[in-house]
Amino acid sequence: MKSHLMLPGPTPVPERVLSAMSRPMINHRGEEFAGLFREVTAGLQYVFQTEEEPVVLPAAGTGGLEAAVVNTLSPGDRVLALVTGAFGERFAAIARAFGAQVEVLAAPAGRAVDLEALRAWLEQDLERPAAERFRAVLATHNETSTGVTNPVEAIAPMVSRHGALLLVDAVSSLGAIDLPFDRLGLDVVVTGSQKALMCPPGLAVLALSQRAWQAADTARAPRFYFDLRSYRKGAAKAQTPYTPALSLLYGLRESLAMIREEGLEEGFRRHALLGRMTRAGIQALGLDLLADARHASATVTAVVSPTSIDLKELRRHARVVSGVTLAGGQGDLADSIFRIGHLGHVGPADVLVALAAVGDALTAQGRAGAAGPDQAVAAAVRVLNEERGRKA
């Protein structure tokens, strides 16, 4: 039975990437590595949509968030965290751990950032003396725990007018949901290798604006391994300051080539389609979606479980009987939702299999009279056919 990894991360790794990672080790201070470094850098610039040179760290996405914080902030800095779920809370917690004074603008589960509330917070903050204003705003582009995509394109100009740095967690969105770094004037964007970049976990990638690099020269948070200035210095020679994760970089080079072959815009359309198919299938099963429809994610769908359903058994049945691995909820949502990831090396057929697995698992728990797998698949296929009709 084929396995379908329908998580919001780690995501399936293409055979091309796995094969590329089997290459032998090389001298990471030699010319062959320099060529690899330059290719990876160019590929990342394409995905980030930036002229800046992204930094690759051997770390999980959380390590990338820590690097964003310690390279731009100092103990005592006031920071506004936009929290729409567990990963927004994590970003805020990292800033607190390094001495920032974090204030939180939170949204209910399933909702995006309240733009009017944000505007009011930032305008009120401008009444303070310049030295006491927010130094940075922390935003989660795609909140993996709730399936909500926050409107960074609307948040960015507000933060720019205020003058704060905008640090963005794009771990579960970059490469799958449009986030043009240069055009939006973002300061730091963080992603991870194990999501839309289609690699195993282990790499965090950051893009920094010139303003962010200037902040790195004055930030006083403690740092050593994550001091991005050392990575920037090494990049001038197409090297890393410390031993790189060579096998992962081989894989990343290949996955970036695959992203370029598909084309960013086509990738965005594919992920948006997968999100619409998933939501249609879930609703056909009579289940509710957690995310506000206006901000539903193209990469992960959070499904509210009926109280009559055993969530652990639903996920176990899907995995054992259908070969489909689904994600559970996190934090306060652990017992009330499950999540379907549809990003990276995933296509419409994978979504159909996942929906059938959910329908079959619900039927196995005796949802008498409820819609079953066939209805879920049919609803998703209608969405797929509508998309094909638009393209014809």
pLDDT (tens digit per residue) in 26-68: 999 999 999 999 999 999 999 999 999 999 999 999 999 999 9
d(CA 68, CA 227): 10
Domain count, the chain: 2
Q: What is the dihedral of CA 263, 268, 271, 272, to 10 degrees?
A: -150
SS3 track for 218-259:
HCCCCCCCCCHHHHHHHHCCCCCCCCCCHHHHHHHHHHHHHH
Which of 261, 282, 302 is the last residue in one of the domains?
261
For residues 245 and 361, state if they share a domain.
no
For residues 115 and 75, state if they share a domain.
yes
- Give pLDDT, residue 291: 98
Average pLDDT over residues 98-112: 98
Can you name the residues that pair with 189 across neighbouring β-strands? 168, 207
Half-sphere exposure of 288 (CA within 13 A, CB side): 10
For residues 224 and 278, state if they share a domain.
no
pLDDT tier, 391 (very low <50, low <70, confident <90, very high otherwise): confident
Q: Report yes or no on 1 lying in a domain.
A: no
Q: What is the CATH number of the domain that holds 344?
A: 3.90.1150.10
pLDDT one-digit tens code per residue, 195-224: 999 999 999 999 999 999 999 999 999 999
Long-range pairs for 122-125 at CB < 8 Å and ≥24 separation? Answer: 122/80, 122/158, 122/159, 122/161, 122/162, 122/164, 125/80, 125/162
- Give pLDDT, residue 218: 97
Q: Report yes or no on 10 lying in a domain.
A: no
Of the candidates 20, 9, 47, which has an alpha carbon nearest to the alpha carbon of residue 346?
A: 9
Residue 159: partners with Cβ closer than 8 Å, 6 or more residues away: 122, 137, 165, 166
For residues 306 and 253, state if they share a domain.
no
For residues 26 and 157, state if they share a domain.
yes
d(CA 328, CA 348): 22
Average pLDDT over residues 270-299: 97
For residues 255 and 279, state if they share a domain.
no
pLDDT one-digit tens code per residue, 356-386: 999 999 999 987 556 789 999 999 999 999 9
Return phi, psi of residue 21, to 5°: -75, -10
Q: Report yes or no on 8 lying in a domain.
A: no
Which of 261, 284, 299 is the last residue in one of the domains?
261
Q: Report yes or no on 4 lying in a domain.
A: no
Q: Report yes or no on 278 lying in a domain.
A: yes
- Give pLDDT, residue 370: 62
Q: What is the CATH number of the domain that holds 102?
A: 3.40.640.10
Of the candidates 327, 302, 317, which has an alpha carbon nearest to the alpha carbon of residue 365?
A: 317
For residues 56 and 140, state if they share a domain.
yes
For residues 178 and 226, state if they share a domain.
yes
Q: How far lies 119's CA from each of 102, 280, 311, in Å?
A: 17, 34, 39
For residues 268 and 222, state if they share a domain.
no
pLDDT one-digit tens code per residue, 162-206: 999 999 999 999 999 999 999 999 999 999 999 999 999 999 999
Cβ atoms of 176 and 272 within 8 Å: the answer is no
- Give pLDDT, residue 47: 98
Can you name the residues that pair with 101 across neighbouring β-strands? 78
Amino acid 117 reads A
- Please report where in the chains the tokens 């995006």 appear, as a residue: 112
Which of 221, 246, 261 is the last residue in one of the domains?
261
Q: Report yes or no on 2 lying in a domain.
A: no
Within 10 angstroms of residue 349's Cβ, the number of other Cβ atoms is: 10
For residues 156 and 220, state if they share a domain.
yes
| % residues pLDDT > 70 (the chain) | 99
Q: Report yes or no on 318 lying in a domain.
A: yes
pLDDT one-digit tens code per residue, 72-104: 999 999 999 999 999 999 999 999 999 999 999
Residue 70 pLDDT exceeds 80: yes
d(CA 53, CA 45): 7
Domain span including residue 323: 264-391
Q: Report yes or no on 252 lying in a domain.
A: yes
For residues 114 and 168, state if they share a domain.
yes
For residues 253 and 272, state if they share a domain.
no
d(CA 167, CA 187): 6
* Sequential DSSP letters for 320-378: HHH-EE-EE--GGGTTTEEEEE--SS--HHHHHHHHHHHHHHHHHTT-TTS--HHHHHH
- Give pLDDT, residue 306: 87
- Give pLDDT, residue 372: 83
pLDDT one-digit tens code per residue, 216-266: 999 999 999 999 999 999 999 999 999 999 999 999 999 999 999 999 999
